[in-house]
A = this chain, B = another copy of it.
Amino acid sequence: MARIVMKFGGTSVADIARIHNVARHVKREVDAGHEVAVVVSAMAGKTNELVGWAREMPKACGANSPFFDAREYDAIVASGEQVTSGLLAIALQSIGVDARSWQGWQIPIRTDGAHGAARILEIDGGEIVRRMGTGQVAVVTGFQGLAPDNRLATLGRGGSDTSAVAVAAALKADRCDIYTDVDGVYTTDPRIEPKARRLSRISFEEMLELASQGAKVLQVRSVELAMVHGVRTFVRSSFEDPDAPGMGDFDNPPGTLICDEDEIVEQQVVTGIAYAKDEAQISLRRLADRPGVSAGIFGPLAEANINVDMIVQNVSEDGSKTDMTFTVPTGDLEKAVSVLEKAKDSVGFDAIQSEAGLVKVSVIGIGMRSHAGVAATAFKALAEKGINIRAITTSEIKISILIDGPYAELAVRTLHSVYGLDKQ
């Protein structure tokens, strides 16, 4: 017997029939003797509808500013999960499973006061644990909690994954199962490389890099939280038949376990290849090489809400002038250039060069720490295919390479193959 938190996203609870299907997944675990809490998102499309109304309202009222009260936004948008949790509780009861819905404020899931993008501070799981002991399933609204002002707060888009991990931590659950529309985490995007394999295990650190690098399986914040609290998180599909063979196998269900690296016996040097499209590169030429110059560049960009990703700066030859290159999302390129033009004189550089439509390909693997030559292998493989490398950044467990857009698929497949990821 174990204690499991099961999380279902919007497409998994999109209508009455799918909610019934979710109830069957839950019943399978309850029948196996486990204690279960469920975290649900809003029905697919509902959150967008609610967000749309909130955004349209100021304009419909003739307001000059499109801004609105984030506390009201939260009250509106949080209603979506409220509906799903109640419907799933009814579905569970209808198939003979004792269940009740819990809204974030009822538990309570306490958040900070950053309405619209709140962080979970504390969850009082006592009553839920007590009821799980009697066999009752708790169906918890994801994505939301109670702010210090006694009003609803939402965690920002995709926050239900984070809710699930936080609930799992608070309930000291043995595992947090994230049911989604894919059946696990792959060595790379199977739409690009059909030979991509599902990983049976991946470490928190690797998943964090994969998630940040464009793999859309899990929200980055939820992986961070799982790592901090050591919540073993399992990514699996909600669209499979709940009673198919192996689905109820507690130790080895179909999917990918995200866990501490100690749990991964046979560590690969490279675990996966990620990519992020629509990157744009900005190079500042003959930049004054003096203290404070980076702040002069990235301060104004941050104020303009532009996310800067890769940053490459070489040591200047004579200690006076240097070149700096960094990337921003292609959609922000125009704005970024305009911000930099304004800062040109105060910062001090000769020219701005930019290029849009680039791709960042990343090689990720915890084994890199102890293996030399991983980067060299990548560079050599790409060179053999005639792919030009524009910039490189590395971390302890990741190598990111900026290349021209048209080579994205070729680069992903090349790297996937060169590290042997297409072999069992």
Contact = CB atoms under 8 A, between A and B. Distances in A.
Interface of A: 16-17, 19-20, 23, 50, 53-54, 56-58, 60-63, 68-69, 71-76, 78-80, 82-83, 85-87, 89-91, 93-95, 100-101, 103, 105-106, 150-152
15 contacts: A16-B57, A16-B60, A20-B61, A54-B86, A58-B90, A58-B94, A60-B91, A68-B90, A68-B94, A69-B89, A69-B93, A74-B86, A76-B82, A76-B86, A78-B82
A149 to B, nearest CB: 10
Contacts of A60: 16-17, 19-20, 91
B90 A72 contact: yes
Interface centre among A16, A20, A57, A83 (most CB of B within 10 A): A57
A87 B76 contact: yes
Contacts of A91: 57, 60-61
A53 B83 CA distance: 9
A17 B17 CA distance: 33
Nearest to A19: B57
A103 B87 contact: no
A23 B101 contact: no
Interface centre among A58, A69, A78 (most CB of B within 10 A): A69
Given A16-B56, A53-B16, A68-B90, A75 B101 contact: yes
A80 B23 CA distance: 24
A103 B93 CA distance: 27
A53 B14 CA distance: 12
Given A72-B87, A76-B83, A79-B80, 15 more contacts: A16-B56, A19-B60, A23-B61, A53-B83, A58-B90, A58-B93, A63-B95, A68-B93, A69-B89, A73-B90, A76-B82, A76-B86, A76-B90, A79-B83, A106-B151
